[in-house]
Structure 1
Amino acid sequence: MYQKVEGTMKSKDEQIKKAVVEMLYWDNRIDASEIQVEVTDGTVTLTGVVPSYGVKEASLFAAWKIPGVKQVKNSSFVKFPTTAKILSDSQIEESIKKQLEWNDSTSRENIQVTVNKGEVSLEGYVDAYWKMFRAQKLASDVIGVVDIDNKLTVVPTEDIEDQVIATHIINAIGRSNLVKTEDVDIKVKHGIVTLSGTLPTRLLCEAALEFAYNT
């Protein structure tokens, strides 16, 4: 019996691995031949070399899209092409600050940027949860970034009642064709959103989270 269960789990892991590899090859930002994929009990481990932090994030998100994936460990490391012009830490910092300043969603936010050997730290405050991820995405697109530590804190500028937040999330889910509102239980207490329920794929779970993030 144990051998049968073990064999079934191994078969599922092999299916997940095949699907992850195919997903990596489908994404034209990623050189899938440089990334190794291993799967154990639904946990995907990515190793290898990527040309930028943006590609490292793209490979992470690609793996999460596969049904059956429980966790993704992205151990790939950034190695810039020899032809790339690598910016100094001060240049990376200045470039990120300009990106944040020029973007409408982050231009008025209180965000401090520090860079040490290509490792970026974002600290300060934003007024919405989705802006925290937007700031990280803007930073990840800068050449020379090898890692990002996002320490931004969400401090809403408006005092919105929990019920209003919950209603906005329910309405957003209802407008989509991806997730059914009856499949997700939404609770909000002091601005903290908790989503529970059962969805068939990780991708749909991410979609539900996205609706909450953007509220």
Structure 2
Amino acid sequence: MIKWLTQLFSSTKTADNTDVMKKFLIIGLGNIGAEYVNTRHNIGFKVLDYMARKESLSFETVKLGALAEYKFKGRTFLLLKPNTYMNLSGKAVKFWIDKENIPTENILVITDDLNLSFGAIRIKPKGSDGGHNGLKSIQQTLNTSEYPRFRFGISDEFKKGKQVDYVLGNWDDAEQVKLPERLEMATEIIKSFGTAGLENTMNLFNGK
């Protein structure tokens, strides 16, 4: 009897761990409110909104954000748009990591990056916050900088002293034309992250 119970517990534990490893939290950073919808700083929201439309998903208002669930190839992707505003993004991320029991290696944070040309993609397993308030909040709340992030280039085409206006400004006409192709690729990156793994995704998409 003891041997049977031990085997049962071991089997259950393995199944639970397997389930955990097949669940992913994809966080798109941004600010809530109509005035921010088409701003460069909200690219994280824009990526998740595009993916939701493409895959016919619906966001539900939940604690600290809006959440949509996407199932693909045996994986579950939880798409989270925090409603805490950028500076407190970590609060929402920590809550949903704990609630869904998701390891930090299974989260992917999507953020804008001034140091990359428009539409350029940089996927990394860890890194500094680079002065980004959303990443800074996540790092402080999780007490680690070792979590995967997907940086989407917005370029630095602004005049001295105009960085805030640029980041919180709307995409220009040329960028609007090019955005759909970049958003389509971003959707494929999210799927790849959950199915092929971080390293393979980095090798496949970085620099594209």
Q: TM-score, normalised by structure 1?
A: 0.24
* Greater relative contact order structure (CA < 8 Å, 6+ sep): 2
- Normalising by structure 2, we get a TM-score of 0.25
Structure with a larger share of its residues in helix:
2
